[in-house]
Amino acid sequence: MYLRDCRTESIRKYVTFHLIYHTDHIPEKIPTTEELMGQKMNCSVDPPNWMNVTSYRRQKGLVYPINVARNVARRMATTYFVFPSDIELYPSVNFIPEFLEMLKKPDVSNTTQPRVYVFPIFEVEESSLPPKTKEELIKMLDSKHAIPFHERVCKPCHNIPHSEVSLEASDHKSSAFILSSVSAPWTHREPLHDERLSWEGKSNKMTQVSHVLEGVFISF
């Protein structure tokens, strides 16, 4: 509620918040949306600090249900396309209109098969500003001010086949996509995340990827 009341208008306009509970740990009383929205925050004080707080989940030894949260967000999305992305990542400037405009153009693949549009992610050093165009991105990659995602952690894990083709393309004025290597604009037809997997598993929590990519043309 503090974020909605005391931060930017964009949070109230574009961000939704959902409460989920473990079936064995449901509170005796769950506040209604009206009750929550009726609460007024004091924006003159600092935001709540949760860094040194032991949460109820940790007290009870519950796993973090990351895929349950993802599925709730997807089910509640009201748009045709859904873009799953980690909160610390952010897309390029004008990503949404440019992506929709790209869909109107002829496809060089000349195929009628379903397509998956892959958007690579790049890490930018803390002292540098993120690139706004592909031209700026290429310069930062050459100077090592930017690197492919997790290149120093597990390069094969996030390597995209033929990604150099996209970087060498001549459309250098296009946006520099700063997105996840496994993320793509989905629709509601794709399978939901496997809710048996949790954050604590520390492995890829998208078991459906192999099925989604099967028999499709991957476009850059």
pLDDT tens figures, 31-82:
888 998 888 889 998 887 877 888 888 899 998 888 888 899 888 888 888 8
pTM of the model: 0.68
pLDDT in tens, 146-185: 888 888 887 777 777 677 766 776 554 555 444 333 445 6
Residues 99 and 42 reside in one and the same domain: no
Residue type, 56: Y
Residue pair 61/179 in contact (Cβ under 8 Å)? The answer is: no
- Tell me: do 55 and 101 sit in the same domain: no
Which segments of the chain are extended strands (E)? 115-117, 122-124, 146-148, 217-219
Residues 46 and 106 in one domain: no
Looking at 62, 87, 104, which one is the last position of a domain?
Answer: 62
Ordered DSSP codes for 59-125: HHT----HHHHHHHHHHH--SSSB----TT--PPTTHHHHHHHHHTSPPTT---S-EEE----EEE-
Q: How many structural domains compose the chain? A: 2
Contacts of 75 (CB under 8 A, 6+ apart): 192
Establish if 111 belongs to a structural domain: yes
Q: Which residue has the higher pLDDT, 199 or 5?
A: 5
Which structural domain range is residue 181 located in?
A: 95-219
